[in-house]
Each structure stands twice: as structure tokens, then as C-alpha cells.
Chain A
Amino acid sequence: MPELARKRPKFLNLFAIRLPLAGYASIFHRVSGIGLFLMLPLLIWLLDRSLSTPEAYAQFQAVFDCWLVKLVLLGLLWSFLHHFCMGIRILLLDVHVGIDKLSAHNSAIAVMAVSLLLTAILGAKLLGIY
């Protein structure tokens, strides 16, 4: 099977690549996904504490109020929102919606903008600003 054996062009050096905006949106999709995966134990633990006894709920609140945890949760909030918005963009591209170069560029901008805006709005709530 010569096709399989042939060396395919691959270039994955993250430090030498200059990406278009859609490329950054794509890399952020990956980074946010890995962040959410790594923090799953924290999220499940918080869910567990929040739904258990009143003592456990108090423990949940105490940990939730810690600034370091809030900072991590703020990062996870952006990760979730970016992953969500980018996921919708990918699903639309899959069904050939917005597949031309200009639309794809614009939708990448929209993903970045909407996820950052929602992070600001919901993050302010998380940090207790309102």
C-alpha cells in the first residue's frame, strides 16, 4: 500500500507556526478542551459537595469563595464558552454552512468575541461584581 507508506506533509511545531485567526480559534479549542479535561476532578468534586449535606454545602461555599479557585473557575468559564461557541462553528462548517474563506474568517472572529463577552458578563457574576 504505497499511499499509506508515503510520508505525508505534517507541520506541528507550535512555536514556528504563524496562524490566521481561525487557526488561533482552533488552537484555543484544543487548549480549552484540555483545560476542562484536566480540571474535571475539581468540577465533579464541587458538584458533589454542592449537592450533599448542608455541611458539605458549607465546604463547597468556602472553597468556592477562595480567590485561587475563582481564578481557576474563571479560566474554566472561558474554556467552556470558547469550546461551546467554537463547537457550534465546527458543527455548522460540517454541514457546509459558512465554508467560504470570508465567512469562515468572520465566524472565527465571532467565536472569539462572543466567548470573551460572555466570559466578561458571567465572570463578573462569578467574581461577585454584581
Chain B
Amino acid sequence: MSHFDRIVVGAHYGLKDWLAQRITAVVMALYSMFMGAALLSGVHGQDGWRALMSHGFVRFFTFLFIVSLCWHAWIGVRDIWMDYVKPAGIRLALHSLTAIALVGYAGWAIQVIWRL
């Protein structure tokens, strides 16, 4: 296999991505349990909900969650494209759309919590 045959949309960073998927998963799992506990302890109406989400620590943790979610989704969705989509052109297009969408979602979601 010469360098000419190399698939441009292959996963070049196997271990790094594998590890990032795990670390982001742990961040999201911790955040989910934290938010689950916070919601169970009682949040009343929009004021209570806004107060919870605008708390300094919660906002920091939510930011980490959003970044983790988008990074994690990028690796997972890219893996699915690589399993089922063989033509390099279509795969490149799907990878690009996925990455662009996730960067946009991250910006949107961060703006939602940061303007509070």
C-alpha cells in the first residue's frame, strides 16, 4: 500500500480518539448524575431552572458537558460513517457535515447557557 492509496477519511488517530471518547463519556456521566440529583432535589418553575443553570459551577460544568458531548458525538458518528459508507467522496462530505453541525451546535448551546 503506497501513500497514494491512503484513504483520506480514515481514522488516523485511533488511540487518541478512543481515549477522548472515554474521557468525554466520564465527564458526561458525572454531569448527568449531578444534574439528575439537582433536578430531583426540586426545581420550581422557570425562575428555579434559570437560577440553577446560571450558578457559576453549574455553568462551568454545563460548558464541559457541551464540549464533551460534541467531541464524543463526532467520534461516534464518524465511526458509523466509516463502517457503512465506503465511497471516499460521500464519506468526506458526511464527515464534513457532521463536524460542521457539531461545531455549530456547540456554539449555539454554549451561547444559551452563557447569556444567562
A87 within 8 A of B: yes
Are A48 and B112 also in contact (CB < 8 A) when A54-B46, A84-B32 are?
yes
User: How distant is the Cα of A94 from the Cα of B72 in the complex, in angstroms?
Assistant: 17
Q: Which residue of B lies closest to A1 (CB)?
A: B1
Q: Which of B1, B29, B83, B108 contacts A44 (CB 8 A)?
A: B108
How would residues 1 to 35 of chain A score, 1 for a CB under 8 Å from any chain B CB and 0 otherwise?
A: 10011000000100000000000000000100110
Residues of B within 8 A of A91 (CB): 22, 25-26
| Inter-chain contact A47/B1, CB cutoff 8 Å | no
A41 within 8 A of B: yes
Are A4 and B112 also in contact (CB < 8 A) when A37-B77, A40-B105 are?
no
Q: For residues 41 through 65 of chain A, which have their beta carbon under 8 Å from a beta carbon of chain B?
A: 41, 44, 47-48, 50-51, 54, 57
How would residues 55 to 95 of chain B score, 1 for a CB under 8 Å from any chain A CB and 0 otherwise?
A: 00000000000000000010011001001100000000000
Chain A proximity of B8: nearest CB distance (Å): 16
B109 within 8 A of A: yes
